[in-house]
Homo-oligomer: A and B are copies of this chain.
């Protein structure tokens, strides 16, 4: 494996561990816990893993040097630091007993079901310490949900004499980890299941989980790029840059990047929904900022757009809903019509409100909404280039204002979408340390005989040595939600809270940012150098925790 100078130098970084995890450890248990909602339902569904106490690891000498074999699974989208969770887990498992073995299931949860795995050895692991990516063992999106899968997994677990499975994933994967833990506990199989909070989207977060790993590195990488674009924008003074950012439904990434870079405009999906804003409202807000800046001779700016925006515009949500129903009922005769006739057909059948929404959309987007469907008949929202849709509509709005004499200026848009650029960046010091501590905690939870827990690390705005590590019962974070028409126990997803400090901090400054040029240029992630440059947590974390 040929390596860059940075890869070589970074390999020797020794992640900082919380003091409590550095030597011998004992467990401090809290009181029994309750799920965040629907306590009776959750308790009934998880009789063996409900109500367990919160756990904190403190200095002591209680956790035995146990013989354990562990299997690890990476689930879902990549996030920087996954390899360090595995490193922390490996080092602690070997510290507990050098004969302990760690197995990696390949290409995600499917590896457990299909019995595809490798043993992770020290030599093999050393190539991946402090690296980004999930390429060490691969990841995948197979959902572990059925008893057939659980039983199939058990075969290989027995064959390899594995005591515990660690699942590194987002909210859904951790929900499934808990279902698996409950199943193995109910069957008395003696197999523990431990989760780890992963996602760049930042939406796996609650009273117990301060942040999901990868959010720090991904947002810093996107902010580097946004800052560079801002500086270009402020130098050339002739473009409006529309930047779409990954993050699925939640706008945490967009909000964090806005706090780091102070762009002229950042749209927050959760606010759009809460205020029942229409697409036209959003467009008018942007166009007003463009027009204001044009008056000052500033025909340039930067706009951040969260990936999930379209679905959060209530009017468009309602339109999509009606289109789904309409095409499900009449899809067959509709399909054979030509393009223009299809449009007429839709306009004739939509309710007045949704027809009005449909008419405001550029034709290409209307077409995507009404025609391009996934195999389940749903709109493929991710295919819509929201950044272009919005800049086109702003352009049209400005043109109409120009006709009315309300706007005079040049509007030249540029478009960007950042996602893949940050999911596999080499983890920042924060993520490298945080993940290593999560992996270490996962090993200690296993050694303590726990199951149905997620490894957690708290107090993360302090120095790493003062972080607090432990575990949270996964059931504690659950409630009941409707999924595909059925009520299911799930970990509650964290969207941006409009009364939370990060959003309020942003909201208090955004008018200033829109009018003036207040760009901040964070630059690339630094691994060496002054601590204030290398070791800072995200603005979101700082505002939430301090």
Which residues of B sit under 8 angstroms from A241, Cβ to Cβ?
420
Q: In chain A between 376 and 432, which residues have their CB closer than 8 angstroms to a CB of chain B?
A: 414, 416, 420-426
Verify B522–A6 contact, CB threshold 8 A.
Answer: yes
Q: Which of B7, B9, B135, B423 contacts A529 (CB 8 A)?
A: B9
Residues from chain B with Cβ under 8 Å of A107 in the complex = 237
| A475 interface residue (CB < 8 Å to B) | no
Q: Is the CB of A135 within 8 A of B234?
A: yes
A7 touching B521, Cβ below 8 Å: yes
Counting CB contacts under 8 A, is A355 at the interface? no
| Contact yes or no, A139 B236, CB < 8 A | yes
Residue among A228, A229, A426 with the highest chain B CB neighbour number at 10 A: A228
Q: Does A78 contact B (CB under 8 A)?
A: yes
Complex-state Cα separation, A236 to B421, whole angstroms: 13
Q: How far is the CA of A4 from the CA of B521 in the complex (A)?
A: 6
CB-based contact A133/B232 at 8 Å: yes
Which of A264-272, A339-347, A494-502, A530-538 sits within the interface? Answer: A530-538
List A89-145 residues whose CB lies under 8 Å from chain B. Answer: 107, 131-135, 138-139
Q: Is A10 an interface residue (CB 8 A)?
A: yes
| A527 close to B529 (CB less than 8 A) | yes
Most buried by B among A9, A518, A521: A521
Q: A221-B228, A529-B528, A529-B529 are in contact. Are A235 and B6 (CB under 8 A)?
A: no
Binary CB contact string for chain A from 300 to 319 against chain B (1 if under 8 A, 0 otherwise): 00000000000000000000
- A5 & B133 in contact (Cβ 8 Å cutoff): no
B133→A231 contact, CB < 8 A: yes
* Smallest CB separation, A298 vs chain B (Å): 12
Query: Interface size bucket, A side?
Result: 35 or more
> Residue A260 at the B interface, CB < 8 A?
yes
Beta-carbon contact of B421 and A132 below 8 Å: no
Q: CB distance B426 to A235 under 8 Å?
A: no
A235 touches B528 (CB 8 A): no
A63 within 8 A of B: no
Q: Is A3 an interface residue (CB 8 A)?
A: yes
Is B524 within 8 A of A524, CB to CB? yes
In the assembled complex, the Cα of A533 lies from the Cα of B262 at a distance in Å of 30
Query: Closest CB of chain B to A341's CB: distance in Å?
Result: 18
Least CB distance, A86 to chain B, in whole angstroms: 13
How far is the CB of A536 from the nearest CB of chain B, in Å? 6
Asked if A171 is at the interface of the complex by the 8 Å CB criterion, the answer is no
Q: A439 near B: Cβ within 8 Å? A: no
A526 within 8 A of B: yes
In contact, B532 and A9 (Cβ under 8 angstroms): yes
Which has the most chain B C-beta neighbours within 10 Å: A77, A239, A414, A526?
A526
Q: Give the distance in Å from the alpha carbon of A421 to the alpha carbon of B233 in the complex.
A: 10
Q: What residues of B have a CB within 8 angstroms of the CB of A135 in the complex?
A: 231, 234-235
Interface residue A366 (Cβ < 8 Å from any Cβ of B) = no
Contacts of A2 in B (CB 8 A): 262, 518, 520
User: Min CB distance, A276 to chain B, in Å?
Assistant: 33
Min CB gap A264→B, angstroms: 14
**Would you list 22 pairs from A and B whose C-beta atoms are within 8 A, ordered by A residue?**
A2-B262, A3-B520, A4-B520, A4-B523, A5-B530, A7-B520, A9-B533, A77-B236, A78-B235, A131-B231, A133-B521, A134-B235, A135-B235, A221-B228, A228-B421, A228-B422, A229-B424, A231-B424, A233-B420, A426-B524, A524-B526, A526-B526
In the A-B complex, list the 4 residue pairs whose CB atoms are closest, starting with the nearest.
A528-B529, A524-B524, A231-B424, A133-B231
